[in-house]
Amino acid sequence: MPTPFGLLPDGTPTQLFVLQNAAGFRAEITDYGGAVVRLFAPDRTGRLADVVLGCPDAAAYATHGSFFGCLVGRVGNRIAHGRFTLDGRTYDLARNNTPNGVPCHLHGGVRGFDRCVWAAEPFVSAAGPALRLRHRSPAGDEGYPGNLDVTVVYTVTADSALQIDYTAVADAPTPVNLTNHSFFNLAGEGRGTILDHEAVFRASRYTPVDAGLIPTGELAPVAGTPLDFQTPQRIGARLDAPHEQLRLAGGYDHNFVIDRGPAPLALAASVSEPSSGRTLDVLTTEPGIQFYTGNFLAGTIVGKTGAAYPWRSGFCLETQHFPDSPNQPAFPSVILRPGRTLTSTTVYRFGTR
């Protein structure tokens, strides 16, 4: 049964749902923004710890813009100048982000999917305990065309993974790029930085960005750059390297192009943490994954256990289509048209070594 997760500033009540497998792996998810509030995974000794950053209640989530654990939409990541043209018509969106002084549209706008209370229904699926979340984004919402109906299913599987299945339909052509924005720290929430985590990505290319953190349109090789994670690398090893891309983003905040094989669900990234032995594999049907190293965390947000979240205290692996895709015809399309159904799956699978 769900438990109360507090009131939003306008008095709207929210709830928290718990999904757990037989091994004790547990996800706690709120209907506010569909946020993963807690995610308990065992270390190499079997000790459970919460490995995601988050807030103590819904009111705290509503007061900041860090997107901890939330569902992102309609379009995740950035859209240049908050504008795109579709079928000959130009649409203006909220410009709610200004990296390096350049305005853009970020993560669905001022009131994106992270700021909505979703209709929630817990159930038991063949794969494990699950939570179905539904949301309707009406025509004109944050400037987007058409009514969009989104369903997201979180499932905790027997092999200690959190699986996220997305579906969406629209009654008019509209861009859609859905993702989850969890911040991970495999040592445990509030337990230092992620600099000693080791990461490897199945990605030989990435999408370089300009001063506004908008892709230039190029698919550039990672080889010979600090963005090369084709072999395991400490996350902090090259963060201070004198490279233009790291300077512009203040660290890693880049979309990696997944080297996909024939399987629909591809391994995109693997991360491990040496002290706990925890590992995280990310598998997805998406073509890209955004790697973000908490560049804008500054110790001003106090998390759910009372610990402040300093710089580099969490990392994100957001599975996605590429940023600014509505303005980049060479990128895989994010346009959803009537009569089509968007489907996407991402699995965050935990283990130890």
Could you confirm whether 181 is annotated as catalytic?
yes
The CA distance from 112 to 332, in Å, is 22
DSSP assignment letter at 88: T
Give the list of residues 6+ apart from residue 10 with CB closer than 8 angstroms, or none.
none
Q: Can 218 be counted among the known catalytic residues? A: no
In Å, the largest CA–CA distance within the chain is 59
CA distance 65 to 61: 8
> Residue 198: in which H helix or E strand, if any?
strand 198-201
Neighbour tally for 89: CB within 10 Å: 9
N- to C-terminal Cα separation, the chain: 34
Q: Which residue, among 286, 287, 284, has the nearest Cα to 265 in the 3D structure? A: 284
Which residues does 348 contact at the CB level (< 8 Å), separation at least 6? 161, 162, 163, 164, 182, 280, 281, 282, 317
User: Which residue among the candidates 181, 197, 254, 321 is catalytic per the annotation?
Assistant: 181
Strand partners, 291: 254, 317
Give whole-number Cα distances, 286 to 148, 220, 339, 349, in Å: 20, 19, 21, 16
CB atoms within 10 A of CB 159: 14
Active-site residue identified among 189, 273, 286, 318: 318
Q: Rounded to whole angstroms, how far apart are CA atoms 285 and 164?
A: 11
Residue 343, burial from CB neighbour count under 10 angstroms (0-12, 13-18, 19+): exposed
Which active-site residues does the annotation give? Answer: 181, 318
